[in-house]
Chains A and B, each alone.
Chain A
């Protein structure tokens, strides 16, 4: 898996260079998607998904923290219920930004996050059903400069603060209805593409890989993060608490560290 990741990274870094020399006007390049699609979903058919929608800026104010909301207008009872949602940014050096594993505890999926964008790009949400059918929704965002970025500050302080979590559920909660949860985890989310000015190489990737959410010990959602998710990964999502209880999260970084947090949901 690691070598595939590396190979993909090199391929896309190469694509980035080619497009740099051709692209003089800022606009998203539609020719990248067939390559990204083939790399991640080789040979598989993909249908349009009008039931997957975005709320996104036309032009992102900051490429480092682009707010993006994705909603799926169906529940897990639907015949073509989406079980896994892949979020990809065509023009990023590493396109796969996050993978969301859905459960019926989410109700109708609605999630907001913040992503990195290196340049103008199409954003793809690819939904996968239990039997492997794929559905695609796209949105275009103009943005710049979110991936290389600045790695600055005191390394010890950054490491010490990494993994601090804030999580809360918006009150009042009406049990049985959608409630809104917000999760933020302090982490530099280093891409592995940022320059190390001392060694003249690259600063190693250092990022949150996974967050698993449960409510009263039952799975709500698992998220696999890529480095296209912004520094201090942010998620705001709906879930359906049926009774008072505890929303819990376990998060892991690629150094093998685990971070946990709980939020109580009361009457």
Chain B
């Protein structure tokens, strides 16, 4: 019994400690802060902190962009915000539906923040709810405690502007690309574009939408005025570097698409293409073996009908 009590007290202590530990943020100046998650695949060694989570401070209040993969990560982000500013948290923006980006949302309910997303995001969250809750519980165990689906109430169909006081954010929704819920955020003041997972850097781009739609969006982003870009994962990108990364991603996606098309034309089987398609890209990307195989598995059956 005593043991149990001690254990209980210890775990309470650990829990509070975790709550109080703010995420390490990179300050990009101009009221822009980013926390960089680590490179882990979700199916192996996942700790709910793999994506970039950010906040932007205006004169009236704060906007959060993506919240991490668990309530805990969201709470740690909130702690980090409170170290910088006590202004109200007005908006929580999700760049798309994936669980590593949305499961920290619940940490901001107390702020009565307006949750913002692509017009298809509430629907996509609902369809994936049961599965996301179950597999994240499996992957994360106690780390996932308290995490829940929090849907956006402000929906973006094409574009929308958010006023933070002396700075305006331009939100743009896209047709199906990385997912069917992709949204970018452009902060005019710092000339920074949050691409969500429309831009992968270092980490192998993963396709859960439409590879051809994604290639079309990349074409569109190539002429974007942003000087800086913050991708869904990895480091922040300065100057022309983000356009180079966009080109690298385009090269990977075209290679993958062409290799799969060639495989189908030759009458090969999907299982073979899972090992061979886009093999020439292997040395350029992290988590390639896991993610590239999954990409082939996801898109090959659809491309058989071209």
Contacts and interface: CB of A to CB of B under 8 A. Distances in A.
A186 B302 CA distance: 10
A62 B294 contact: yes
A66 to B, nearest CB: 8
A84 to B, nearest CB: 25
Contacts of A150: 124, 127-128
Given A24-B141, A65-B301, A67-B270, 12 more contacts: A23-B138, A24-B138, A25-B138, A62-B297, A67-B271, A112-B271, A114-B270, A150-B127, A152-B123, A182-B267, A232-B304, A236-B269
Q: Shortest 10 CB-CB distances between A and B: which pairs?
A: A61-B297, A61-B294, A62-B297, A145-B131, A26-B138, A150-B127, A61-B293, A67-B271, A144-B135, A62-B298
Contact of B301 (A25, A119, A170, A232): A232
B305 interface: yes
Contacts of A114: 270, 301
| Interface band, chain A | 35 or more
B280 interface: no
B130 A148 contact: yes
A71 to B, nearest CB: 14
B265 interface: no
Contact of B137 (A24, A64, A164, A195): A24
B135 A145 contact: yes
Nearest to A24: B141
Interface in B214-240: none
A186 B305 contact: yes
A234 interface: yes
Interface string A152-168: 10000000000010101
A92 interface: no
B149 interface: no
Contacts of A230: 301
A188 to B, nearest CB: 12
A239 B94 CA distance: 51
Contacts of A25: 138, 141
B175 to A, nearest CB: 13
Interface string B65-109: 000000000000000000000000000000000000000000000
12 contacts: A25-B138, A67-B269, A67-B270, A112-B269, A112-B271, A114-B270, A114-B301, A148-B130, A152-B127, A164-B305, A197-B123, A230-B301
B41 to A, nearest CB: 11
Contacts of B294: 61-62
Contacts of B110: none
B136 to A, nearest CB: 10
A133 interface: no
B147 interface: no
A150 B124 CA distance: 8
A151 interface: yes
Contacts of B270: 65, 67, 114
Interface string A19-33: 010011110000000
A49 interface: no
B69 to A, nearest CB: 15
Contacts of A194: 127
Interface in A178-204: 182, 184, 186, 194-195, 197
A139 to B, nearest CB: 15
B127 A151 contact: yes
B145 to A, nearest CB: 12
A123 to B, nearest CB: 16
B43 A231 contact: no
Interface in B279-306: 290, 293-294, 296-298, 300-301, 304-305
A20 B137 CA distance: 9
